[in-house]
Amino acid sequence: MSRQSILTTHTGGRDQVEITERIHTLVAESGVQQGLAHLFTRHTSCSLMITENADPDVRRDLETIFARQAPDGDPAYAHRLEGPDDMAAHARSILAGVELTIPIGGGRLLLGTWQGVFVWEHRHRGHTREIVVTIVPAA
């Protein structure tokens, strides 16, 4: 039987918040031994990502890359309702993605040794973010 939860996390502004252990806990509580965990953020200015969780320089470098791809305050942007980071945050969420699907095996997420699951906040100020986690057993 599938199980769905809403995980709430608080961000401190433009940064990444690791949620790997929280997802591992939801998988363990579900009792699913083999299947899929699907994660979806209910927001348009943050993303979900799997990346290295050992060296924080990786995440800093990703921020540098995205700053080049979707810079804050670009004068070409028409959408500026919530400040200079508003449209850039929307673009970044599309570029990085708002959902992930991770295989489950042996009752755990089958992530690699250095992989972690993160909420990537694209706004400068912190927000409360909701992640829908759906755990589905293999057929």
What confidence tens digit (pLDDT) does each residue in 1-55 have? 899 999 999 999 999 999 999 999 999 999 999 999 999 999 999 999 999 999 9
> What is the pTM assigned to this prediction?
0.95
- What is the per-residue pLDDT across 107-125, written as a single tens digit (0 to 9) for each? 999 999 999 999 999 999 9
**37 in Cβ contact with 27 (< 8 Å):** yes
In the chain, how many domains are there? 1
Confidence of residue 82 (pLDDT cuts 50, 70, 90): very high
Q: What is residue 36's DSSP assignment?
A: E
The CA distance from 30 to 95, in Å, is 31
Confidence of residue 106 (pLDDT cuts 50, 70, 90): very high
- 23 lies in which domain range? 3-137
- What is the DSSP code string of 65-90? HHHHHS-TT-TT----TT-TTHHHHH
**7 in Cβ contact with 130 (< 8 Å):** yes
Confidence of residue 139 (pLDDT cuts 50, 70, 90): confident
CATH number for the domain spanning 54: value is 2.60.120.460
The whole-number pLDDT of residue 65 equals 97
